[in-house]
Structure 1
């Protein structure tokens, strides 16, 4: 924006310098040797007055009128009249300026010489006066119309962009509503059945490993239903942040139910962490542990969540798998979603295999200063 204003100021200054130079050159080329002193000063004042033509267009026309009537500042008066028409349009000031420039061209100074002209010369001077005064007015009105047209086109383009954005928002809202209905009607129903079956299994086999596994399944199903309700609310409302989301404080609970041997390190966490950053850190650990469970069964994982300089770092490192992959279904979008989340928060996301056959995921989320 600063460069645009600077370029515009330089361009305006260049045009003003050129206009004054042309006006001075016009006076100098037609200046007679036996000119009266007052004519010289009036012509010079008309040229200098062009400096203020952008701020006081009608005042500059008034200032150039004597220099054209009793001097030789014809081009200065025409430039001032053109700027007046550009800034004010076709109003009384422009009409008055037209009349003054026409009179300056029609009347010959001194008046004794004007009175000595024949009627044919008066008619000819009147016609020339219309041309001299009409040309800058026409050019000024043309420039003004072009500027107004450009503004209208820009306004129409902005209006079209707003309409496209509104249409896109409406389409997204419809898609959100459709997804919310499907998630509520299908996914919630299936997870509820899973929780009920796990509860039956837990009651039928108390004190066994199956009982503990069934309890874990029931707890996971319950938490998944809660998060699913939150997600459905987000989809229906169209707001990205709606309702409670798990954060760093829930990492210990996540690890206890992850079915993956994990060593967790949480250190130097600031007292206040934005909810979006805390939720992103939780989702990063959750997705990484899910991938370890799917693709590296039996492998140990190390999770480190550490506060850094104005940032929160999350690193998940797993060893080489001890068993073949279990072939669990995977959409292949988990890490991509984490990378997008990190980018939206202004952070970074990196993944890389390790030398011992494991895998490393590191995300950094910026914190407010």
Structure 2
């Protein structure tokens, strides 16, 4: 039984459109059953209006307020209406405008008791609380459940964003540790191993010059040759270790500007990429631009949910400029922990390339990140 429920839950949250279709069909069936059991026979045009209200629920997700208005004749003609309550619940799921929701609930309640307005009981003072609770309670429950579901969905989205941010920060921390270890290994190889191998090569060369024996000369020449080759290999390994520091193995293919479009498209934001004509850029500069855009997009997703982002990479006044500007957030921002290691790393990259790095707010309550490297620094 538990396995079956787990499978149903996984299918329900799989992103398929069929769970929503099944739910809408069920709600339409419930509204239809409510109409069939509670509606008293009347004029044929009343029946058409009531049936149209039930059928309108099929498009409640796309036009929630319009569907609610279409179902308003139902409580006027039959009292409490499941179709109108479902439509009110949908409106509550789609907006946080409390004035609108309060107005919809009051209109529904008023139409519910309107058919009884002419009766003597409704005018009796003791009947007012009963009729008020009877008409407002279902509407209030529909609004409350809709707001609760909307809050739950927003929290789920925020939790997903927090998980992505935490994974990104964990990856950055891992990269920092790896970079420190690689730098330590590079220093050890350069300062200790290279020095000792150089000493071996020098001593072998001295032995080759000073000895008269052919066997000793040949051995010294072999030692000196192997030591020179070893030094070349060590220099290459030191350069690889110092150039590394990305995720995973530093020998893996490093990102280039050709992958920038894919990065922007998969950022999960309303982001657009603008590129201008560029000269041939060195691999370190391409990596710096890629990492700058990557970090800026991550920060925009983290601190400006729902904001639009513009990414521009082009020449600007004798320099290569990579600029990322996001607008102000259009959803509530949840404070998240950050050590700002990403921005510090980007500034260090820019300084190593002879450029500058800027990050700060814009006049429109957004945020701007910019990397600028002069063309003369790349020559």
Which whole-Å CA distance do the structure 1 matches of 2:182 and 2:198 have between them? Answer: 22
Q: Match for 1:65 among 63, 69, 72?
A: 72
Q: Match for 1:114 among 95, 113, 117?
A: 117
Q: Which residue of 2 aligns with 1:95?
A: 102
Which whole-Å CA distance do the structure 2 matches of 1:197 and 1:29 have between them? Answer: 105
Rate the CA distance shift 1:200–1:42 in 2: closer, same or farther, 3 A. Answer: same
Q: Match for 1:52 among 59, 66, 79?
A: 59
Rate the CA distance shift 1:72–1:131 in 2: closer, same or farther, 3 A. Answer: closer
Q: Cα deviations across residues 276-323 of structure 1 (Å, max 9, x unaligned)?
A: xxxxxxxxxxxxxxxxxxxxxxxxxxxxxxxxxxxxxxxxxxxxxxxx
Q: Which residue of 2 aligns with 1:361?
A: none
Q: Match for 1:31 among 31, 34, 39?
A: 39
Number of residue pairs the alignment of both structures matches: 235
Unmatched runs of 5 consecutive residues or more in structure 1: 243-369
> Where do residues 146-165 of structure 1 align in structure 2 (5 Å cutoff)?
146-165=152-171
Whether the 8 Å contact between 1:58 and 1:93 is mirrored in structure 2 is no
Q: Which residue of 1 aligns with 2:24?
A: 16
Which whole-Å CA distance do the structure 2 matches of 1:235 and 1:7 have between them? Answer: 43
Q: Which residue of 2 aligns with 1:190?
A: 196
Rate the CA distance shift 1:138–1:114 in 2: closer, same or farther, 3 A. Answer: same
Post-superposition offset of 1:152: 2.0
Whether the 8 Å contact between 2:72 and 2:108 is mirrored in structure 1 is yes
Root mean square deviation of aligned Cα: 2.5
> Where do residues 335-354 of structure 1 align in structure 2 (5 Å cutoff)?
none
TM-score, scaled to structure 2:
0.57
Q: Match for 1:181 among 180, 187, 194?
A: 187
Which whole-Å CA distance do the structure 1 matches of 2:195 and 2:106 have between them? Answer: 85
Q: Which residue of 2 aligns with 1:208?
A: 214
Whether the 8 Å contact between 2:67 and 2:87 is mirrored in structure 1 is yes
Q: Match for 1:83 among 67, 73, 90?
A: 90
Question: Would you say 1:221 and 2:227 are equivalent positions?
Answer: yes
Post-superposition offset of 1:154: 1.9
TM-score, scaled to structure 1:
0.58
Unmatched runs of 5 consecutive residues or more in structure 2: 1-10, 253-379
> Where do residues 243-282 of structure 1 align in structure 2 (5 Å cutoff)?
none
Post-superposition offset of 1:54: 0.7
Post-superposition offset of 1:71: 4.2
